[in-house]
Each structure stands twice: as structure tokens, then as C-alpha cells.
A = this chain, B = another copy of it.
Amino acid sequence: ADSFEVAGRRFTSRLLVGTGKYKDFEETARALEASGAEIVTVAVRRVNVTDPSQPMLVDYVDPKRYTYLPNTAGCFTAEDAVRTLRLAREAGGWDLVKLEVLGDTKTLYPNMTETLAAAETLIAEGFKVMVYCSDDPIMAKRLEDMGCVAIMPLGSLIGSGLGILNPVTIRLIKESVSVPVLVDAGVGAASDAAVAMELGCDGVLLNTAIAGAKDPIAMARAMKLAVEAGRLSYLAGRIGRKQYADPSSPLAGLI
């Protein structure tokens, strides 16, 4: 079956989802179930993963079933991101992580200078780094050369729902690196996720598009289907785009 590999682990689902922004952990769990995701990101600075007196994500989202991917949401410096992931590793043993170092609160656009610095430190310390980044194909190649295990360019701003604004750069990134490319951020509707997959990407990560929908559970299932549809469409080899019509074959009929 179609699958992809990150840092030596193989996954069948190409939809990765976040665990934040839901009403409660129960809704989170149901959305994850509906999404079919095998990898879920956890904002370790925001989510309770250690205090048993409070509701804990692990009681709703079984770490044996889902691959937890600690992320550095809310970190604006390399130092902060590195510290966050070190603490996460101490707390939960995770070494497969998602690095994101943000540039400012208005755009949440990645700060690539800080991201490079953090990635270098983390890789040296043995982390397997999946990295949120700009859609810059040269930067993507550099991140791969440094040892990042997945490249995760934004489609558009986090939570914006604007979809894949620049399909050319996403495709160039896919052409230039060998590790998996996952579009991270920007997906609003199912078609956006399909577009990402049709560009040849290995997967899609999203959070707001599901958690912020009127019916998150239904949207989680929509995204699952859309990622599968887009992947299959890519593999099936779409027809070319034509300026004029292409009639059905002119077989002689009987009527």
C-alpha cells in the first residue's frame, strides 16, 4: 500500500493533525479518530502532558496508537524552541519533533534564521527534526542537507485558510529534496488539501481548518478523504490542461 517514511518510521495516513483549539479533549479525540491521522502534533508548551490532576491529552489520545509529535508552537527564538523540545524529550522521551520558530505574532511566518540555528542544535543533540519553514526551495534544500527529516513549508499563513498560494515553490521544494515534504499551514477547505497532494507532496498537516470548522468531526473526515483523493489523483496521472474542448471518442453509434 501507498505509504511514506519519516526518520525510519513508516506511515500510511498522509494527513497529520494538530491537537489544539478544540472545545475539549473529547472533541480532540473524536476529530483525530475521524481524520485517520497516525501522527498528531502536540504544543508541549500549551497542552498538559504531565500533570495528572488536570485532564491530560494522553488519556484521550493514546500515545501507543498515535505518534505524538511535540512542536514548538509559540516559540519565537531558537533558544526557546530548543529548550522546549529538550523538556519535551525529558518528559515524554520524544525525539521525533516538529520545529517551528515564528517570526511575529501577526503573521506566524517562520523566522528562518532562528529556525536554522535551532535545527542545527537539535540535530546535533540527536533529535529527528521535522521543520516548519518558508516556501523557499533553496532553504528547504539546506534544511535537508543539515539533517532535517521532513520539510514542512507553509501553504499560506497559519490559520488563514487561504490554501496553497504559491504552487510553484511548493513543487520546486518537492523536486529539490529527498526527504518527505508536508504542506503545513494554510489549508482551509478539503480542496486545498487535495491541491497540496496533487503537487506531489507527501502529506499535509493542519489544525485550524478542522478545529475551527462548524462541525470539526465532519471536517476531519473531509480532510482524510481529500488527502487520499489528492494523493490518488497525483498517482493516477491527470489529463493535460487544454485551451479548447476535447470531445469524447467519435465512435459510430447506432442511433
The answer, yes or no, to whether A121 is at the interface (CB within 8 Å) is no
Number of copies of chain A assembled together: 4
CA distance A49 to B48 in the complex (A): 65
Contact of A44 among B107, B160, B193, B255 (CB under 8 A): B255
Given the complex, which residues of B lie within 8 Å of A161, measured CB to CB?
A: 238-242
Contact B162 A168 (CB under 8 A): yes
Give the total of A residues in contact with B, Cβ under 8 Å.
102
A215 to chain B, nearest CB (A): 4
A253 with B47: in contact, given A237-B214, A242-B159 (CB under 8 Å)?
yes
Contact A191 B191 (CB under 8 A): yes
Contact of A194 among B49, B105, B191 (CB under 8 A): B191
The answer, yes or no, to whether A229 is at the interface (CB within 8 Å) is yes
Binds B, one of A4-12, A124-132, A220-228: A220-228
A244 with B112: in contact, given A172-B107, A251-B47 (CB under 8 Å)?
no
Given the complex, which residues of B lie within 8 Å of A157, measured CB to CB?
A: 168, 242, 244-246
Given the complex, which residues of B lie within 8 Å of A246, measured CB to CB?
A: 157-160, 208, 212
Contact of A109 among B84, B87, B110, B138 (CB under 8 A): B138
Beta-carbon contacts of A173-206 to B below 8 Å, as 1s and 0s?
Answer: 0000000000000001111111100100000000
7 smallest CB-CB distances across A and B, nearest first, come from: A159-B246, A214-B237, A103-B138, A45-B253, A190-B233, A222-B232, A108-B245
